[in-house]
Structure 1
Amino acid sequence: MTETAVRIESRVQGLDEQQREAFAGLPVAALSDCMGRCTGTMSLVPRHGDAPLIGNAVTVKTRSGDNLMIHKAFDLLQAGDVLVVDASGTCDNAVVGDLMMQMAQRRLVAGFVIDGAVRDVAAFRKTGFPCYSRGVTHRGPHKDGPGEINTVVTIDGMVVFPGDLIVADADGVLAIRPDDAAGVLERAVRHVQKERAFSEAVATDAVDRRWVDARIASLRGALQ
């Protein structure tokens, strides 16, 4: 449906529950290392505690401080979805709070990712409902529009497509294209195994540090 200043696209299914759960327990840092170390959020903060977040993106682009289209997006949200809101990164007015969190919980929504402000952070901390945002303010939202639902958005410099897999923890938020998910998962599992092996080597003073001097020597050679 397309109208002046309003665009509402169909929901994109994304990965199924079993595919999503394969990412459970994988740190965002490890996934990021396997995605070129050049994507993901840098300024969004978890408002709920340390609980991780995994789910499929339902995207909203809204005018700063306005949540009319966010309310409309609730008609499309399903269990396991993540509400991803591009509110232009401004924090003058909160676009979600306790009441919208309660509605999301009733729908078994996985969590919120808000490039903007939220309020009622005590409620998010109490329930542990995953919520990542750029800022916090007590000032409530406007409800005038315009906006878009299920279009491509930008969250803290990260491009998010509808249906992307959203993975987040205390280190930040990543969006993974469904077609890339299997490859990222495979690389991340190997990466975690490698890091565990390194930790074991540290514990037994068996870390091979020769690569550091070799890298420095190579750098010096390149500069000569």
Structure 2
Amino acid sequence: MSPVGLRIYRRLPRANPELVAALAEIPVANVADEMSRMFCLDAAIRPWNTAPMKGVAFTVRARPGCNLLLHKALDMAEPGDVILVEDGGDLTTALSGENMVLWAQKRGLAGLVVDGAMRDRASIAEMDFPVYARGVTPRGPHRNGPGEINVPISCGGVVVNPGDIVLGDQDGVLIIPPKEAPEILKRAQGKLDKELKTRAAIEADSWDRSAYSDEALEKLGFTFFDTTYQER
């Protein structure tokens, strides 16, 4: 019998913690800008509290409505791991709640991302542990499989490989391939420097707005009318 759908891989590559920490010093949006504005999870997967998230991806492929392997992942994952769950975007059943999040926090994990539903939103909102999910429902899960651990998954429309770097803030979640991470970090630091210079220019009332002038827009083909709009 083929093990496909029933595979559990015990090991995953883990990026240098110093590299992960350096990336986490930069807003997620700035890092995403230097990744061609791709690799961001679906905007529907939202933060449930204000705790920032940084770590490496510990992946779970769940059968929608079943949290058996999420429970197993909570016991297998190591400090600094972010558990990401492929649940097919299912919102009919919650895969996790307060107690499981407390256990993840107790074990020193770095976050939980569920492409599906969770519950106990009010209590999780008060916790200092990053949680992201697509939706909320009080209906509890089943625990009978199948599923897989530490295989490539699709989470929020992005392919996530075990060991990918994961960043999250109030804007959302970003996935970073570890091999490209050092170069992405370098570019993102430059992007942040530019952002800070722009903010200083705004404060000094000297922000260059020439790219949005009438002349610049006319060169792009826009037409200005010195009248009010009239329907034909």
Q: TM-score, normalized by length of structure 1?
A: 0.92
Tell me if the contact between 1:11 and 1:58 (Cα under 8 Å) persists in the aligned partners: no
Structure 1 SS opposite 2:7: strand
The equivalent residue for 2:89 is 89
Give the drift of 1:101. Answer: 1.1
| Range with greater deviation from structure 2 (206-215 or 72-81) | 206-215
Determine the C-alpha separation between the residues in 1 that align with 2:50 and 2:101. 17
The equivalent residue for 1:121 is 121
Structure 2 SS opposite 1:122: helix
1:183 and 2:183 matched: yes
Determine the C-alpha separation between the residues in 2 that align with 1:116 and 1:71. 15
The equivalent residue for 2:53 is 53
Q: TM-score, normalized by length of structure 2?
A: 0.89
Structure 1 gaps of 5+ residues are none
Q: In the alignment, residue 7 of structure 1 is paired with which amino acid?
A: R
The equivalent residue for 1:139 is 139
Give the drift of 1:5. Answer: 2.9
The equivalent residue for 2:205 is 205
1:216 and 2:217 matched: yes
Determine the C-alpha separation between the residues in 1 that align with 2:7 and 2:119. 26
Per-residue displacement from partner, 1:157-213 (whole Å, max 9, x unpaired)?
111110001000111100101111111111111111101101111111212222234
Q: In the alignment, residue 97 of structure 2 is paired with which amino acid?
A: G
Determine the C-alpha separation between the residues in 2 that align with 1:123 and 1:211. 47
The equivalent residue for 2:12 is 12
Per-residue displacement from partner, 1:78-135 (whole Å, max 9, x unpaired)?
0000000000001111111112112211210011011001111222122221100000
Determine the C-alpha separation between the residues in 2 that align with 1:94 and 1:140. 5
Determine the C-alpha separation between the residues in 2 that align with 1:4 and 1:79. 28
| Range with greater deviation from structure 2 (20-29 or 205-214) | 205-214
More strand by share: 1
Determine the C-alpha separation between the residues in 2 that align with 1:74 and 1:38. 28
Determine the C-alpha separation between the residues in 2 that align with 1:162 and 1:148. 12
Identity %: 40
Alignment of 1:160-171 (within 5 A): 160-171=160-171
Determine the C-alpha separation between the residues in 1 that align with 2:107 and 2:219. 56
Tell me if the contact between 1:53 and 1:130 (Cα under 8 Å) persists in the aligned partners: yes
Structural RMSD (CA): 1.6
Structure 2 gaps of 5+ residues are 223-232
